[in-house]
Amino acid sequence: MSRRAGALILLLAGSAAPLAGEPVSGYQLLSPEMQEMQDDEFTNPGMLTVEAGRELFSQPGLNGQACADCHGADGERINPGRIAAYPIYDQERQQVLTLRAQIDACRDERLEEFPEPYESQDLLALETFVRYLARGEPVQVDIQGPLAEHFERGRELFETRLGQFNFSCAHCHQVYPGFRLRSQTLSQGHSNAFPAYRITPGRVVGLHRKFIDCFITLRAEPYPVGSQEFIDLEVYSTARGNGLPIETPGIRR
């Protein structure tokens, strides 16, 4: 074991008992003040991104159509259960589609807009708004069929030791959840709050950006946002939290 990895373990020593059993949302590990901030839409900073997405939802594309023309002015015709099922495997495209990728594809095909970079702020805002519409809906990713292969690839990456610390995602989120690392309590690593407002950078971030931050913490070279590796990791990390309610926009450190 490297000296750096040993130092990281020492930071975990003497912490509270780890979480075990059924999936537990990171919300349960927040302070009462942060829980209150998440629950109150007037104090939740992530609601600014929701409102930005709401405006884009009604903004006409190049052909004069808008998302709202199909889905209702406030998305009232969107089925929350379908949102809770993402990522999905799209048979027509023969690929995995995250919710963000689906939104971009709809804008391309229905509004005749140009495809956006995966980390586009417009796509982030739209994803946040659409996920917000499914708030409270239990996550239910179907990992049968073609998605099973991507789930297993995501599991493999989740369990692979990375970086100078030689730790994996599983070390923090399966072995040590409930323990404290520096000033925060490690969660089980579920994605039901994302896109989420993160206190540390002071902005709403998507799940792949959170993956990058974790890789950097382990001093590992991250994959690009929107890469197949991170899409597979999203499939796994989302499906392992099946049954947890969508909390977007959640509050996380």
Q: In the CATH scheme, what architecture does the domain 47-133 have?
A: Orthogonal Bundle (1.10)
Is 214 known to be catalytic? yes
What pLDDT score does 83 carry?
A: 98
**Which residue do the tokens 């999203």 mark?**
234
| pLDDT top residue among 19 and 237 | 237
Instruction: Note the pTM of the prediction, 2 decimals.
Output: 0.92
Give residue limits of the domains in the chain.
3-40+145-252, 47-133
Residue 109: partners with Cβ closer than 8 Å, 6 or more residues away: none
CATH class of residue range 3-40+145-252: mainly alpha
- CA distances, 235 to each of 9, 62, 247 (Å): 28, 32, 18
CA distance 67 to 56: 8
* pLDDT 10s digits, 104-120: 999 999 999 999 999 99
Residues 241, 139: contact at Cβ < 8 Å? Answer: yes
Triad 51, 78, 226: Cα angle to 5°: 70
Residue 160 tokens read as 């692979």
Could you give the percent of the chain with pLDDT greater than 90?
87
What pLDDT score does 9 carry?
A: 47
Instruction: Considering the candidates 67, 169, 172, 214, report the single residue annotated as catalytic.
Output: 214
DSSP class of residue 90 equals: E
3-40+145-252 and 47-133: same fold? yes
Residues 243, 189: contact at Cβ < 8 Å? Answer: no
15 has a pLDDT exceeding 80: no
Quick count: other Cβ atoms within 10 Å of Cβ 165? 20
